[in-house]
A and B are shown apart, each in its own frame.
Chain A
């Protein structure tokens, strides 16, 4: 019997493929000085470092949430075949165990110890009163929440703060040691260098961003064991957990879309610019036609059709997660089809310019084949456009997910995503008294991710665009 049964979702595998690609790119960048230079320039800017740290934190959550498996159910009798739970979990789910399992009955406000709605409670004497019942998990350790809570929150915050401080101290120490080794100076000198910001990389910004992150993580860990930080939703699930799970959906939409469209855009854009003539005409016609269809409508049409297909072929998907996953993947493909035209046009224009340069003419004169010229001479010279547009598109795609889910053509309703959270919040806003916390959670998470992606993409453009230099 196995401890668990791995589940390979399509989007997971594509994400790992993408990570492998990134690893390959990093390996190449380390080898070549001219590739390393723009990244160095990026790391010298303070907003570049800060946004990169925040993005990495989001990516870490997304990657941990992309290792899926199913746990076995209780065995029934000896020798019986092991059955696995239909619920698909991820490594991230295990790490935040209490968050996932502490499910209340219905809405409860952030840091509340009572439900948000009144219920009839039976008192020990047999009498019945209508009151706000205590939560099963949130603040359950308190005897008299009204009196004890403020003190308990302060103590827990202090605890979290101390952990964060210890974490940061350890990290700073390790950074100083590492820097001392690298620059072959004494650790004391390295520490002075960090403190006065004398190194080319803004370590102070790095440390303060990491410090803020560590503080957030420590506080969140300390509090989420006892309270619901962002309250609970209609079916009592922890909103903080839902917002964390949504990170994966947002990252998938933002990255896989580009991964899907990249081969088309690269191949067709370079072909159009390189071969010109009728090839160019056909490719230009294709992307003009596709780009003249309003994007949202094309996506809506395609997703409607996918729904019809999935409804008539339900036997293809064995778990709810697999079904939602296919829809996510398809959404990425459709978003890719509607968004590759912009990159394709840029690549065509750049290739038209590059192919007239002397080194291409020299290669042609030496009798180098078309394929080799494209792969060895043109591709490396247009890669900066690809990189800039990948990073620029990311934040737009994360925002698009919310809008599409609102329109009803986004990710599967069973999948946690910020768009679905906002969509659900529309009805909660109309309630009296209002339920505002899931909207707040979605807002905070989306804002931080998109803001850091926007800042990062600005720095990437500054570092890679030859016109800006």
Chain B
């Protein structure tokens, strides 16, 4: 088991190197530091001196990959690639183009993100599985059919409308919660409730329908027929056998997103004014702060790969047939 995990982690390294090289190419080769400086200083009426100064302050005036002017090991290390990209492997994200410490920002901003994303994930999973079980229990009846129709209709509404509609109804008409904002400690609760509820509702359509398919696939298996043949009630078949066996495909989809919960949701965080990583990324995109976007791309990939490894490990926990060698 330990051996397998170590091997998986080693296997992740080339992928991370690939991500790193790709982001480096996107941000420094396709789009040169000169272009970045012009975007920040204004496209017209900008002097070459101002560009040089801007680049120097952020360390973008060094050679890209290889510094032939330096001595010894500095030839490789005194470059943009080494300073801006290699450091990311040690989670050293450097400073944003505005001069803020990105690692510190990430540390403080991931908690509000998690405060929204984790409840959305947990409650959403529970709600979706409950609805899916209901539909599977009443399969091929009008309850099931109308459930599916409702799911398809809910899937067809853009997530933006759930947020706008929810904010309008709950905050503006009923005045139940504040429209947006965030607070520390237990005061945060009133700000969290609405985004969580909307997040859960927005996910029901696709989630419940997907789990329903999984449950229906399981109910057509032989062991279900055996369980019914030995006289078990439909409810105990569903909970005792189908749910357990359906955990494997459910886990595939669910575990992989757990690490990504730290990244928060771009849309709902910016609508609700939550100071998390999602709104951090949106602000960076709008301010064209390339350093922050680069850091978030790398962080997101790391978390995704961690999620893949966690998925494999979780298989062994729910499925005794799988042994990781």
Q: Do A and B come from one complex?
A: yes
A interface residue numbers (CB < 8 A to B): 285-286, 288-290, 292-294, 296-298, 300-302, 304-305, 307-309, 311-312, 395, 399, 402-403, 406-409, 418, 422, 425-426, 429, 439, 443, 446-447, 450-451, 454-455, 458
| Complex Cα gap A305–B168 (Å) | 35
**Residue in B43, B160, B281, B288 whose CB lies within 8 Å of A403:** B160
Q: Are A297 and B281 in contact (CB under 8 A)?
A: yes
> Does A446 contact B158, Cβ atoms closer than 8 Å?
yes
* Interface contact B38-A439, CB-CB below 8 Å: no
| B297 partner residues in chain A, CB cutoff 8 A | 293-294, 297-298, 301
Contact (Cβ within 8 A) B263 A294: yes
16 interchain pairs, CB-CB under 8 A: A289-B15, A289-B22, A292-B301, A293-B301, A294-B296, A297-B300, A300-B285, A304-B290, A309-B31, A399-B159, A403-B266, A406-B267, A408-B286, A425-B164, A439-B164, A447-B156
A461 to chain B, nearest CB (A): 10
The minimal Cβ–Cβ distance linking B220 to chain A, given in whole angstroms, is 11
Please provide the 4 A-B residue pairs with the shortest distance between their CB atoms, ordered closest to farther. A289-B18, A294-B300, A451-B156, A450-B156
Q: Please name all residues of chain A whose beta carbon is closer than 8 Å to the beta carbon of B22 when the two chains form the complex.
A: 289-290, 293
In the bound complex, how far is the Cα of B27 from the Cα of A308, in angstroms? 11
Instruction: Please name all residues of chain A whose beta carbon is closer than 8 Å to the beta carbon of B156 when the two chains form the complex.
Output: 395, 446-447, 450-451, 454
Measured between alpha carbons, how far is A297 from B281 in the docked complex, in Å?
Answer: 8
Q: Are B39 and A311 within 8 A (Cβ)? A: yes
Tell me, in angstroms, the Cα distance from A35 to B156 when the chains sit together.
30
Number of A-B contacts (CB under 8 A): 121
Contacts of B260 in A (CB 8 A): 294
Contact of B19 among A293, A307, A447 (CB under 8 A): A293
List, in ascending order, chain B residues with CB within 8 A of A304's CB: 31, 285, 288, 290, 293
Kindly list chain A residues whose C-beta atoms are within 8 Å of the C-beta of B281: 297, 300
User: Is A451 within 8 A of B43, CB to CB?
Assistant: no
Cβ distance A275 to chain B, nearest Cβ, rounded Å: 21
**Complex contacts, B153 vs chain A, CB 8 Å:** 451
Contact B293 A406 (CB under 8 A): no
Closest Cβ of chain A to B231, distance in Å, is 31
Known: A304-B290, A311-B39. A429 touches B157 (CB 8 A): no
Q: B36: CB under 8 A from chain A?
A: yes
Please state if A402 and B14 are interface contacts (CB–CB under 8 Å): no
Query: Among A300, A402, A447, which residue has its beta carbon within 8 angstroms of that of B293?
Result: A300
Instruction: Please measure, in the bound complex, the distance between the C-alpha atom of A450 and the C-alpha atom of B153, giving whole angstroms.
Output: 9
CB distance from B217 to the nearest CB of A (A): 9
Return the chain B residue nearest A303 by Cβ: B285
B238 in the interface, Cβ–Cβ < 8 Å? no
Q: Which of B256-306 touch A at CB < 8 Å?
A: 260, 263, 266-267, 281-282, 285-286, 288, 290, 293-294, 296-297, 300-301, 304-305
Q: Which residues of B contact A403 (CB under 8 A)?
A: 158-160, 266-267
Given A297-B297, A301-B297, A406-B267: A422 and B160 interface contact (C-beta under 8 Å): yes
A439: chain B residues within 8 A (beta carbon): 161, 164
Question: Which residue on chain A has the smallest CB distance to residue B26?
Answer: A301
Q: Confirm or deny: B23 has a beta carbon within 8 angstroms of a beta carbon on chain A.
A: yes
A446 to B161, CA, bound (A): 11
Tell me the minimal C-beta distance from B1 to chain A in angstroms. 23
B117 CB → nearest A CB, Å: 14
Q: Which residue of the partner chain B has the closest CB to A399?
A: B158
Q: Chain A: which residue is nearest B288 at the CB level?
A: A304
B30, A408: Cβ atoms closer than 8 Å: no
Chain A hits for B285, CB < 8 A: 300, 304, 407-409
CB 8 Å contact bits of B27-40 with A (1 = contact, 0 = none): 10011000110110
The one of B26, B161, B304 that contacts A302, using a Cβ cutoff of 8 Å: B26
How many whole Å from A451's CB to the nearest CB in chain B?
A: 4
Contact A308/B267 with A289-B22, A408-B286, A443-B161 known, Cβ cut-off 8 Å? no
Chain A nearest CB, measured from B195 CB (Å) = 16
A292, A402, A443: the one within 8 Å of B304 (CB)? A292
CB closest residue in chain A, given B284: A300
Supply 5 further A-B pairs (C-beta < 8 A) apart from A293-B301, A407-B285, A450-B158. Answer: A285-B14, A293-B23, A294-B263, A300-B285, A447-B156
